[in-house]
């Protein structure tokens, strides 16, 4: 069963389009910033706010 879920996750990841942050913000009306503590989520969102 574990192998089934791993394979399913791999197949879903093939559909993911990788973008830089500012391109993603410009192309999508909504944004969810995810990451570990200290990864720069708040800093990124502040910079996005200043550029708009």
- Domain residue limits, the chain: 2-51
pLDDT score at 43 = 94
- Whole-prediction pTM: 0.55
CB neighbour list of residue 21: distance below 8 Å, 6 or more residues apart? 44, 48
pLDDT score at 17 = 72
Report the distance separating Cα 30 and Cα 5, nearest Å. 28
Report the distance separating Cα 29 and Cα 39, nearest Å. 23
Please write the tens of the pLDDT for every residue from 8-51: 666 665 666 777 888 888 888 888 888 899 999 999 999 988 87
């Amino acid at each position: 069963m574990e192998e089934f879920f791993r394979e399913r996750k791999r197949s879903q990841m093939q559909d993911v389009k990788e973008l830089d942050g500012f391109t993603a913000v410009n192309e999508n009306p909504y944004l969810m910033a995810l990451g570990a503590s200290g990864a720069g989520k708040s800093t990124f969102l502040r910079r996005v706010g200043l550029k708009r």
